[in-house]
């Protein structure tokens, strides 16, 4: 029998025995308990008529049962279809139908959305399973399914090229794309991530990410279980609560989202005993000011890891290494970089015509990796548009310096072309947030009769004395004049999409 992602994961969890595996919302599971519940769930899905390869949608919040469900779907040979739990009913219904899902697992905090979805899909054969008490009539309760049945993991046969996981990426317009990964690729991700993050067996991880984001599941959570390690959910905790829990639990690995960077530094300075166990601090997936990275490195040392990747790449394609934070680093500005390509990946910079650009030039980043996705699920045209001779065109703008360090400049679609000049909003935003009294900013382009587009900024201020003219002058004094905003509007907060990224589509629509 060909080994599968699920069987390899199940065997590793079995070897961990009674070691701690999961902590969330006051509940905990050992590896043995996790595997028993996951196995019973896999058998229950099979008993309901599902066969290996069938798609199972999961829209779940941060609970130990949620990861039990994921593991059960995987070891049963079914295909998890990840759905961001912040999506609304029409978006969820469209994903369920496109995936051809046979089952839908949700936590009871999302029951109202699922209730609406059930009236949209028109498929009475969908098996709906609720984690929690607030289940819809006719739904099964996860707790009931895992209370009985065999705790022996099923052994199923799948081919290396068979579908293993679909992660639907959130979008600001239209339906998100389903990023499809095969059994072979998921196994590569599982075995690569411990090397990528420098994890050790039995590693204890405090994750500030949530189960809303699929990359955190296969990139951090499942690899820790594979190592016999422990996952503790910290999402939603204030920095001091987060750090206090890490001290109590002897955390070795954590991730720092950009909005919590300053609070993390302040909280660790107040509880420096954490540094006796904390070895690795990860940042990835969003922009972080160079000065914030510098403060974290000054505090935690060379264990800080900056990485770059996306759902389509499966695993990150670049990362920093401990030596990068020393005087031996040859990067132009390592604190502004995403590190260098890892051993299983390549990064190229392409011009508008798709030809490679020279060192230091800015263009679209393209990547080639052993963990690259198989394509967008049942969307061959979108797949062909994104792929070129084995390279994935990321849609990100960036450059590579002479020492091989990669710098992410902006999203290609976000670039503003004003009077023939290219303006990268992220570059302007980095300057804006250094202005006293500016808490956050979003820069983008709007149509202009003369220049084609003009640069504008939506600004959240922490000091009402900040004026629009003052914001424009701040940028003018620090950047080429054509990059300055010509219009500034103050907003109470910046709108976010389902991935908690600034929704510039909404800002443009309301400008």
Examine the pLDDT at 55 and tell me if it is beyond 80.
yes
Task: Name the residue among 318, 496, 292 with its Cα closest to residue 408.
Answer: 318
pLDDT reported for residue 407: 96
Examine the pLDDT at 479 and tell me if it is beyond 70.
yes
DSSP bridge partners of 82: 58, 167
pTM value? 0.84
Least confident of 182-186, 187-191, 414-418: 414-418
Task: Name the residue among 217, 475, 193, 441 with its Cα closest to residue 317.
Answer: 193
pLDDT tier at 172, thresholds 50, 70, 90: very low
Examine the pLDDT at 207 and tell me if it is beyond 90.
yes
Question: 415-509 belongs to which homologous superfamily?
Answer: ANL, C-terminal domain (3.30.300.30)
Distance CA 330, CA 350 (A): 23
CB atoms within 10 A of CB 410: 22
CB 428 within 8 A of CB 485: yes
DSSP-based three-state secondary structure for 386: helix
| Mean pLDDT calculated for residue range 354-380 | 95
Instruction: Summarize pLDDT for 252-297 with one digit per residue, the tens.
Output: 999 998 878 899 999 999 999 999 999 999 998 777 888 889 999 9
Distance CA 68, CA 423 (A): 46
Examine the pLDDT at 422 and tell me if it is beyond 60.
yes
pLDDT reported for residue 171: 45
Distance CA 249, CA 230 (A): 10
% residues pLDDT > 70 (the chain): 96
Q: Give the domain ranges of the chain.
A: 5-182, 415-509
Distance CA 161, CA 200 (A): 29
Distance CA 435, CA 137 (A): 54
Task: Name the residue among 43, 45, 21, 25 with its Cα closest to residue 33.
Answer: 21
Examine the pLDDT at 119 and tell me if it is beyond 70.
no
Class assignment of domain 5-182?
alpha beta
Task: Name the residue among 109, 136, 283 with its Cα closest to residue 212.
Answer: 109
Instruction: Summarize pLDDT for 497-507 with one digit per residue, the tens.
Output: 766 678 888 89
Q: Higher-confidence residue: 32 or 388?
A: 32
Examine the pLDDT at 1 and tell me if it is beyond 60.
no
Q: Which residues contact 367 (CB under 8 A, 6 or more apart)?
A: 313, 317, 345, 346, 347, 348, 391, 392, 394
DSSP string, 234-292: -TT--HHHHHHHHHHHT--EEE--GGGHHHHHHHHHH-GGGGGT--EEEEESS---HHH
pLDDT reported for residue 416: 86
Which DSSP symbol is given to 49? T
DSSP-based three-state secondary structure for 410: strand
């Amino acid at each position: 029998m060909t080994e599968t992602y699920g069987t390899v994961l199940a065997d590793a969890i079995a070897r961990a025995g009674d070691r701690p595996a999961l902590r969330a919302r006051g509940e905990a599971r050992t590896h043995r308990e996790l595997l028993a519940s996951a196995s019973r769930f896999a058998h229950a899905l099979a008993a309901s008529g599902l066969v290996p390869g069938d798609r199972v949608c999961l829209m779940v919040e941060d609970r130990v049962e949620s990861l039990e469900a994921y593991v059960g779907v995987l070891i049963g040979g079914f295909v998890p279809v990840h759905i961001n739990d912040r999506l609304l009913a029409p978006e969820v219904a469209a994903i369920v139908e496109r995936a051809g899902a046979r089952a839908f697992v949700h936590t009871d905090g999302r029951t109202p959305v699922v209730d609406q979805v059930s009236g949209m899909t028109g498929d009475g054969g969908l098996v709906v399973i609720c984690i929690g008490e607030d289940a819809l009539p006719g739904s099964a309760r996860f707790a009931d399914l895992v209370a009985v049945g065999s705790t022996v993991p099923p052994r199923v046969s799948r081919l290396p090229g068979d579908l293993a996981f679909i992660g639907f990426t959130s979008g600001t317009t239209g339906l998100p794309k389903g990023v499809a990964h095969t059994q072979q690729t998921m196994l590569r991700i599982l075995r690569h991530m411990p090397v990528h993050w420098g994890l050790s067996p039995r590693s204890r991880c405090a994750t500030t990410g949530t189960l809303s984001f699929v990359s955190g599941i296969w990139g951090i959570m499942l690899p820790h279980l594979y190592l016999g390690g422990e996952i503790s959910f910290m999402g939603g905790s204030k920095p001091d609560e987060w750090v206090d829990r890490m001290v109590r639990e002897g955390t070795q690995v954590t991730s720092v989202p950009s909005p919590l960077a300053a609070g993390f530094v302040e909280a660790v300075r107040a509880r420096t005993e954490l540094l006796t166990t904390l070895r690795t601090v990860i940042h990835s997936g969003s922009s972080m000011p160079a000065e914030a990275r510098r403060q974290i490195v000054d505090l935690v040392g060379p264990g800080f890891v900056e990485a770059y990747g996306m759902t389509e790449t499966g695993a990150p394609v670049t990362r920093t290494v401990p030596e990068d934070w020393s005087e031996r680093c040859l990067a132009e500005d390592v604190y502004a970089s995403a590190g260098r390509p890892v051993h299983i990946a390549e990064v190229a910079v392409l011009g508008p015509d798709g030809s490679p650009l020279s060192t230091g030039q800015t263009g679209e980043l393209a990547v080639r990796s052993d963990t690259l996705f198989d394509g967008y699920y049942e969307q061959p045209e979108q797949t062909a548009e994104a792929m070129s001779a084995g390279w994935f065109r990321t849609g990100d703008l960036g450059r590579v310096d002479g020492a091989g360090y990669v710098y992410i400049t902006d999203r290609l679609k976000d670039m503003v072309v004003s009077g023939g000049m290219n303006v990268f909003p992220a570059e302007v935003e980095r300057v804006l947030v250094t202005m006293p009294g500016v808490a956050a900013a979003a820069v983008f382009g709007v149509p202009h009769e003369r220049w084609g587009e003009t640069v504008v900024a939506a600004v959240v201020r922490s000091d009402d004395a900040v004026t629009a003219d003052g914001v424009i002058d701040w940028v003018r004094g620090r950047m080429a004049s054509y990059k300055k905003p010509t219009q500034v509007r103050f907003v109470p907060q910046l709108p976010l999409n389902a991935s908690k990224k600034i929704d510039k589509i909404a800002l443009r629509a309301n400008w």
